[in-house]
Each structure stands twice: as C-alpha cells, then as structure tokens.
Structure 1
Amino acid sequence: MLVKTTASDVATENRTCVVLGGRGFLGRSLVARLLRLGGWIVRVADSSSHSLLTDPSLASDSLLSNAVCSGQASFCHVDVRDTSQIIKVTKGADVVFYMEPTDLDIGDFYNCYMIIVQGYGSFHPLSVDFFLSFDILVLVRRLVYNSSADVAFDGSRDILDGDFSFICPGKFKDMLIDLKFHAEGLIRLANNIDGLLTCVLQPSNVFGPCDTQFVPLLVNLAKSGLSKFIIGSGENMSDFTYAENVAHAHICAAETLGSRVVSVAGKAFFITNLEPIMFWEFVSLILGGLGYPRPYIKVPTWMVSCIVSLHQCSNEKLHNHSISPDYMLQLASRTRTFDCSAAQNHLGYSPVISLKDGINSTIQSFSHLANDTFYTKFNEQSKVEKMLGGGIVADILLWRDERRTFACFFVLVLLFCWFFLCGRTFASSLADLLLLVIVTLYGHGILSSKLELGSDSSVMLKPESKCGYAVQEIPSSCFEVTVSDVQKSLRSIAYIWNRGVRRITTLAKGEDWCKFFKVVVSLYLVKYMQSYSLAVPFGIALVYAFTAYFVYDQYEAEIDAFWLLLFCCMVELKNFLWRHLPIASSLQNENVLHQPKVPARVAGSYSGYGRV
C-alpha cells in the first residue's frame, strides 16, 4: 500500500539519493546543494575516476570532503553501461539523479551511444538485465533525468517562449543532442512501469562555476581573436540557467515525485532563469568581466556557415572536442527562449540565484582565465606606431599634432604638383626648385634682425627698435650631416643590398616557389604602375601615407579581425580544394608512393606520437 507524503514530510526524513555523474559540471552543483540542505545521504557515482579527487580551493569540494568524513556522503566509481554496477550503487536509494556524463568525446560515436543511450536504457524496466534484478525495482522509485532544452531545437527556426505544444524535431545536426533525445524517450517510457516514477528536466544554456564547455570555449575564442565577431544581427534572445538553479529544480522534481503528483511523472519540463537576455549581451558580460574585448563586429550568418561547412569537409578535428560547430552556430544566431511556467506550477520551481548574481559568481570562479594585460594594453604603443618607429614620423602620419601634420601634407602636395603636374621635366623642375630655395635662403639672410608692424600693417625695418619681431638666423648645423647619420644610412643601404642578394641567390637555386611567386607578382605590379604616369603611384602613396596609417590606428581591432576572418576562409577553402580536387589527390598518392619506408623497429618506437 502506497502512503502519500508531502514535501514537508519528506524533508524531515533522512533519505538516500544517488547522483550519477556527480563529479561533472551539474553533478557538483547538485551534490553541494543536497549537502547544504541536509536530510540527505548522498552517494556520488561517477565514471571519470576510481577515487574521489577533490580540490580544496572549491567550496563544493570542501563541503563534499567534510560530508564524506562525517558519513553523510560517499563516492563510488561506476560504469553506467554495466547494469550490475548500477544495481549495486542504487540499492536502497529513494531517488536517483541522472546527470550528464563527464568524459564524452564526440569523435567516438560508439562510446557516446553506449554511455548515453544504453547507459540510460539500463534504467528501463523492460530491459532484460534490469527486469531480472528485482531488488532495484522494489527499492528505487524515483528517477530524475537531466536532459537539455536542445532536444526541442534543431536550428531551423527561432523559438520564442517555446512550450510543449509544438512537436520536437527529432533530427539534429549535433550527435550528442540526438543521442540525448533518444535517451530521454527511454526514460519517459519507463515511467509507471513496476512503480518506477520518472521525470525529465530540460535546462536551457546552463552556466556556472566549474563549467567545462561554454565559458572555456569563449575564453579560447577570445585568445584567438575570434570573439570580436557577432554572428547575425546580434538581437537574438536566449534563456540561460545558472547551475545551482538547475540543481534546485532537480530537488523540487524529486520531492514532487515523492508526493505522487500525477501531472509530473513521465513529463518533461523546461528549466530557465526566467530572465531572457540577448545571447551576445550575455557573452559580452562574461568576456568583459574576464577582461577580454567584447564582441562588436557583425558578420553574416551565411559567411560563418560556409566556413563551418568547409571546416567539416576538410575532416579536421576541432580544438574543443565536446561542442560541435553547428550547435554553436545555431545557438549564436537563433532566438531560443522557453516557457518555464509548467515547472513553476507543477514542480514549485523558482530560481534561487538571479542571472546577474550567477554571472558575477561565474566570472569570479574563472578568475584564473582572466586577461590581465587587457587593461594595460591601452598604455602601450599601437602596431602602427611601433612600425613607424614611434618618433616624429609616427606623430605626423598618425595626426598626433594636427598643425604639423597639415603643414607637412601641404608641403608634400606642393612638391607633388611642382614635379608631376606642372608639365616640365623632372630635371627642370628640380633646377627650378633649387633656384627657388637659394633665392629664399639668400633673401632670409639679408633681412634685418628686427621687424615691426606699423599701424598701417606695413612692414617697417627698424634695426634699433627694441619692440619688434626677431628674425632668427638659420644655423649651419641645419645643413650638416653627422658621421653617425651617414654610417646608419650606409648600413641600411648595405643591409638592403645584401638582403636582395640573398633573395636572388635563393631564387637562382629554385628552392622557394612561394618567394618566386611573390617576386613575380611584385615586379608585375611595378610594371603595371609604370605603364601609367609616375604621378599616379606617387599620388596614391601620398594619400595612402596620410590616411591608411591613421585609419588602421583608429580601427586596428576591426581590421585585424577582418583579416583573421578572411585568412580562416582562405585556409578552409585551401583545405577543401586540396582534399577534393583530382589533381590534389593524385599528388598525395604520388607523395605516398615516393615516401621512404621506415623500418618496423623505428616506426614502432614512434607509435605513441602519431603516424610515421
């Protein structure tokens, strides 16, 4: 005979629970919350290690260590694919919390399938091994399975306040989500068979301390410079859920199942923080809190999709092995908000940590990944300033002193017009310029040392006047060239000459095809420019010098990000063509045929470092 108990009655009893995957991201939060609430004897089961390894710097691990010493908690290594181990660890437990596995690699489909589908299927009462184990059917009555809101999203359309009135797609580009969808179906079908009550929770975009996927991925993207890009319009909304709120929802579900509420058993519930936020605003808060630049360059979704497709066609592995690029692209460009009212009404769930406090706590927990140099880089020289030497030339071309820059630009424009737009030959223009300089210098020399402006604004020469404008003489040092300057110039000329000789020698040997093509293209450009008047390249160089450096100095991050994106496109396109063009495959086969054979003894010694 079943006796109904209320949540308050259950809370006063000493209950035993099993947290499968208790050393994972969400498992740690759930174990810590159960221990803080009290009244629970927690069995932590995980497949990641054979012994309990705790980090004293983490509050959750310190709490678990103390609980193990006091007997309130215990640890057991378990393989979810082995039904006998599941029976052993769950024997005598009132409720089982099934969290996400901790050691999945999307490159191994068989292992993922066995852990996610077959492992979760071990709890299905219709399975042979499970059915023969009568003890577990009698003792375990409640199973709360942690799924994901991703099973309701296939990326084909936006979801705004989604509930369970729409049909789940059932087809996913991400393998892990597809397997979770099938495992969730097994868990829900197992409900109410031989007294087993099940419940599925689908949290959306979980984040928090000890996160091993989302926040570390953002940090890696920020370090590589790719976090500057916003995919799409940047206005798409998303629901994020703090890890402790997910743990609180699991406890609410377990207590509600203990009350035998019919509207909960066998059902699935969305779990969110009830605070929808723009996806890129959330990313900006995380990256900004860790000291990295916030995303600000918008890139069309189709462009990123092409890069992802080329990357997948090249059959190259991602740096992050647990998150597929298709999933991240869908997550970053689509609106995904869910209706959490069912969990509020039937489970009594409400967030215990606000989104703002959750973000701050997450940033503090990842302080070891913070970018300490971000706040000091503004005091350093920019790339352009370093390239220009950081002296007077840099100040002029970067418009640091506008009066001096404008004066230099005006003088250079006059020289350009004098030599190229006057219609004279270069020699006659140079002779006229030298004549003008000599006349100017001689006229400056015969001027009186004192000048005064009269009332009629005419210039009057008064050598003995004490009140006037002093005409400074030009010192002879202005026309002198020091020995050190001459030596530096000669060293520079010798360096350029020797460098050119080395390049010509390399070309003569025929060893560097890349350098050969660079030289050919450069000479062709010079030939193309000289086919026109010399005024064109000099005019372009003059405008370029006073505009390009300044623009790059002001928009250095945006330009670098654009070139990085263009470089990624070119690399992926090259890999795609190299793997799919017939001539590339024939060249690869020819290289394999001509590759020298390595003795088996030598090859065996390098077997642990890759293919020889």
Structure 2
Amino acid sequence: MADHAGDHDSLAETVMEKISDKLQGHDSSSSDSEDDHADKPSADAVKAKIYRLFGRERPVHKVLGGGKPADIFLWRDKKVSGAVVGFATTIWVLFELMEYHLLTLVCHILILALAISFLWSNASTFINKSPPQIPSVILPQDTVLNVASALRIEINRTLAVLREIASGKDVKKFLAVIAGLWVLSVMGNSFNFLTLFYLIVVLLHTVPMLYEKYEDQVDAFAEKAEAEIMKQYAVLNEKYLSKIPKGPLKDKKLA
C-alpha cells in the first residue's frame, strides 16, 4: 500500500512538473512574441527612414505601373523588350542613317505585301495550295474611345500643372520646369526629333533596369546631392528669391 501511495505521489509530481513546464514555455513564447511585436515597429521605422529617390515609397515596378509596360522597361520579358528596342533601332537606322522617308517606306512595304499576296492568290491554283487567308482587321470602337479618353485626361492634367506653375504659387516647381524645358531645348537643338525619340526609348529600357539593380547606391548618392542642392537653394532664396514681390500687399489701403 505504501509503495502504491508513493508511486501515486511521484506520478502526480511528474504531471505537475509537465504542466508547469508548459505554462513557462507558453509565457516565454508569448513574451518573445510581444518582444517581436515591440521590435517590429522599430524595424519598420528604420526602414521608413531609408532615403529613396524622388520620395519613392513603392518598388520601381509599381512606380512604372506594375503591368506589362513595367515588365518591358525592366526587362522582365526579355523577348518583348528586345523586340521593342530592335524595332526602334531599325526605324532609327532606316530614317536617320539611310535617310529613308516615311511615306516612301510605307509605300514600299505596301507594294511588297500586296504583290506577294496577289501572286500567291493567283499561283495557288497552279501549285495546288490554298490561297492565303488575309485576316479582316477592324478597330474596335471601345479601344479607340479608351485611348482618346486616356489622352484627354493626360492633356488636361498637363494643362492644369502648367496653369499652377504659371500662377507663381510654387517657385521650386517653376524653376524645375524651366530647367527641364531648357534641357529639352538644348537636346532638340543638338538632335532631330527621331533621334531624340530613339534616345528616349533606349533610356526607358536602360535607366529603370539599372536603377532597380543598383538602387541602394544611387539613392545614397542622390541623398547627398539633394542635400547640397537644398543648401544652395536656401542661399539663393535668401539672397534673391525672397526679395521678389509676389503681389500687392494685404495691408495696403485704397486711397
């Protein structure tokens, strides 16, 4: 009986020890999870403090739209990206280096296509082959209306931005737009429209890809450059811009 009672007591002690161990493990895990939750905002705060170019908060792919155009610019679809750059290069070579004209090129392409189709259709009866199936191409009305609507929205947005800049409310934006237009005028004086368009296509397919690959180094350099630019702008604003009259004084009384 005594042995049976001792075994019962040892069994009860073992069960109590296991329960206490589980409770302690649960408390430690809950405390660890609380510590993790306490540390997470600090990690997010540190991540939020990282400088990104132009105040960017989203990945480059999302900034570019996050769809098929972004995949093409970032070379996620290498075949399509290569085809776009190759087509732009071919057009530039034809019109710029070989001095081809657009109307001449279109006419030659149509002559070649119509001649091949005509000869194939008439020769199919002699060579016992089916004539070519020429597809019927029709522009859908919805697509045309969507494109026109998108262009209208972008044009109205551009006009609104230009109106805001011309009103003199934001000196910084005014100077940035003037500098951008001046750079475009210099480039337009150095290159013709086709070459400028080709350069823009090449830049769109190289700069975003390289920036996404080396964004940490570029952002660090841009942070230093922006700090220096803001310092020079503060000096310029203190010496000259702040002294420019912005309109009639509010305290001026009519005679």
Shared fold (TM-score greater than 0.5)? yes
From 402, 406, 430, the counterpart of 2:102 = 430
TM-score normalised per structure 1: 0.28
User: Does the aligned pair in 2 maintain the 1:447–1:471 contact within 8 Å?
Assistant: no
Partner of 1:387: 64
Deviations 1:252-307 (A, max 9, x none): xxxxxxxxxxxxxxxxxxxxxxxxxxxxxxxxxxxxxxxxxxxxxxxxxxxxxxxx
Identity value in percent: 21
| Residue correspondences, number | 202
Deviations 1:499-546 (A, max 9, x none): 343234334433332332233222212221121231542342132122
Letter of the structure 2 residue corresponding to residue 537 of structure 1: L
* Alpha-carbon separation, structure 2, partners of 1:390 and 1:563: 27
Summarize the Cα distance change of 1:217–1:496 in structure 2 as closer, same or farther, 3 Å threshold. Answer: closer
From 203, 223, 234, the counterpart of 1:544 = 203
TM-score normalised per structure 2: 0.59
The alpha-carbon deviation at position 446 of structure 1 amounts to: 3.4
User: Does the aligned pair in 1 maintain the 2:73–2:81 contact within 8 Å?
Assistant: yes
Letter of the structure 2 residue corresponding to residue 463 of structure 1: N
The alpha-carbon deviation at position 390 of structure 1 amounts to: 1.0
Summarize the Cα distance change of 1:493–1:438 in structure 2 as closer, same or farther, 3 Å threshold. Answer: same
Cα RMSD, aligned residues only: 4.3
Partner of 2:147: 489
User: Does the aligned pair in 1 maintain the 2:92–2:198 contact within 8 Å?
Assistant: yes
The alpha-carbon deviation at position 582 of structure 1 amounts to: 11
| Gaps in structure 2 of 5+ consecutive residues | 1-25, 53-57, 244-248
Partner of 1:420: 96
User: Does the aligned pair in 1 maintain the 2:92–2:195 contact within 8 Å?
Assistant: no
Partner of 1:441: 113
Summarize the Cα distance change of 1:545–1:443 in structure 2 as closer, same or farther, 3 Å threshold. Answer: farther
Q: Rg bigger for which structure?
A: 1
Letter of the structure 1 residue corresponding to residue 78 of structure 2: E
From 394, 397, 402, the counterpart of 2:78 = 402
Which aligned pairs between 1:43-82 and structure 2 lie closer than 5 A?
none
Bigger strand share: 1
User: Does the aligned pair in 1 maintain the 2:117–2:132 contact within 8 Å?
Assistant: no
| Structure with more contact order per residue of length (Cα contacts < 8 Å, sep ≥ 6) | 2
User: Does the aligned pair in 2 maintain the 1:445–1:473 contact within 8 Å?
Assistant: no
Which aligned pairs between 1:150-299 and structure 2 lie closer than 5 A?
220-225=45-50
Summarize the Cα distance change of 1:471–1:517 in structure 2 as closer, same or farther, 3 Å threshold. Answer: farther
From 222, 231, 238, the counterpart of 1:563 = 222
User: Does the aligned pair in 2 maintain the 1:395–1:401 contact within 8 Å?
Assistant: yes
SS in 1 for 2:190: coil
| Gaps in structure 1 of 5+ consecutive residues | 1-56, 63-208, 229-380, 450-460, 465-469, 589-593, 597-612
Summarize the Cα distance change of 1:419–1:508 in structure 2 as closer, same or farther, 3 Å threshold. Answer: same
The alpha-carbon deviation at position 416 of structure 1 amounts to: 0.7
Deviations 1:123-149 (A, max 9, x none): xxxxxxxxxxxxxxxxxxxxxxxxxxx
* Alpha-carbon separation, structure 2, partners of 1:504 and 1:402: 37
- Does 2:87 align with 1:411? yes
Which aligned pairs between 1:492-511 and structure 2 lie closer than 5 A?
492-511=150-169
Letter of the structure 1 residue corresponding to residue 49 of structure 2: S
